[in-house]
Amino acid sequence: MYPKTKAFIHQLIEDQIIPGASFGFITANERMEYREGLAAISPERETIKENQIYDIASLTKVFVTTTIILQLWQEGKLAPDDKVSLYLTSFTDQKVTLRHLLTHTSGIEGYIPNRNALSANELHEAILHLPIGESFEKEVHYTDIGFILLGFIIEAIENKSLANVFAERISGPLNLGDTSYYHRDKQACAPTEIDPKRGLIRGEVHDPKAYILGDHCGSAGLFSTLAECLTFCQMMLNTGYLKGKRILNEKTVLSLLEDWTPKGKLNRSLGWDIITRGRKNYLFHTGFTGTFIVLDILEKEAFVFLSNRVHPTNDNRLDYLNQRDHLIECYLTEKEAMTNE
């Protein structure tokens, strides 16, 4: 299944763009899991374990934050066009809504001086007072700030840490025992970057803001395995239902295939990016550490890719991003060719 896509991944490893990868596919009839290459290069070479744990970075945005926001919407606890200031009274702008945050159209300018030297409380306060730029509602500017704010909103509504809300609402019901903000066995995690100050980052989140905010961060911080990412995808492909648990309503999942930007012309859904090919929309999201998910909701098919491409350094960013886009194109082309046979 998908020989060209698998060959492409093999070449990424051969070309040393990534150390290795755990990846899998879901079709209407089966679920396939593969792993190839190394989990670590430094300080020693390590092969990828069967249930290798990865820092999935911004996949946290859809795995945790988007899904919980959608649940709260279904329960009438919030609505997409509610103002952020309704829930976060210290938030300075009165125009920005949850829809803006979810679609990256808020125009929030994310620069925070001395960010890495701030405490969690200081960073929290700084984020609440960031300025709004001229791109408000006009353009999609992908940023982590919007999802950090959404995480704060979830905590304000539920009066619990984001990690606890995730455990109660998603990872618990789906029995995702290896998907969490802090992993009990750091050595079981694929390492990420060798940082000048932090040293080899392993079993701790790579993202700087998530490192400070911990399990209160809605933009990054989650660790997971290929198997459990595929389980989450199966829930989405099954329009919100899996293992006897209803996580999202069918109508909610199907609505994600629409453009939710304020004017409906910027090709972004609630939390998810959209890949449009012909008349079909795919849901899509990436993570900085070298991860992505592609979902074909209508055909019930998915491609999950987990790597630690930032190990041992982040020097390969442009090469990786270029090749990642080609990899996704390879998968979609191969998938569509199989569909048309």
* Pair 228, 52: CB distance under 8 Å: no
Helices H / strands E in the chain, number of each: 12, 13
Strand segments, DSSP code E, in the chain are 20-26, 31-40, 46-47, 53-55, 194-195, 199-200, 223-225, 241-242, 245-246, 273-277, 280-287, 291-296, 301-307
Report the number of distinct structural domains present in the chain. Answer: 1
Torsion of CA 278, 282, 96, 159, to 10 degrees: 170
Model confidence over 50-83: pLDDT tens digits?
999 999 999 999 999 999 999 999 999 999 999 9
Tokens of 157: 């509504």
Q: How would you classify residue 283: left for phi > 0, otherwise alpha for psi between -120 and 50, otherwise beta? A: beta
pLDDT, mean over the chain:
97
What's the pLDDT at 330? Answer: 98
Model confidence over 179-199: pLDDT tens digits?
999 888 999 999 999 999 999
* Pair 232, 248: CB distance under 8 Å: no
Above 90 in pLDDT, residue 11? yes
Q: Percent of the chain having pLDDT more than 70?
A: 100
Above 80 in pLDDT, residue 212? yes
Model confidence over 29-49: pLDDT tens digits?
899 999 999 999 999 999 999
Above 90 in pLDDT, residue 312? yes
Q: Where are the alpha helices (DSSP H) in 42-129?
A: 59-60, 67-74, 84-87, 98-102, 120-128
Q: What gap in Å lies between CA 126 and CA 106, rounded to an integer?
A: 16
Residue range(s) defining the domain that contains residue 201: 3-339
CATH, residue 221: 3.40.710.10
Q: Determine the straight-line distance between the first and last CA of the chain, rounded to whole angstroms.
A: 14
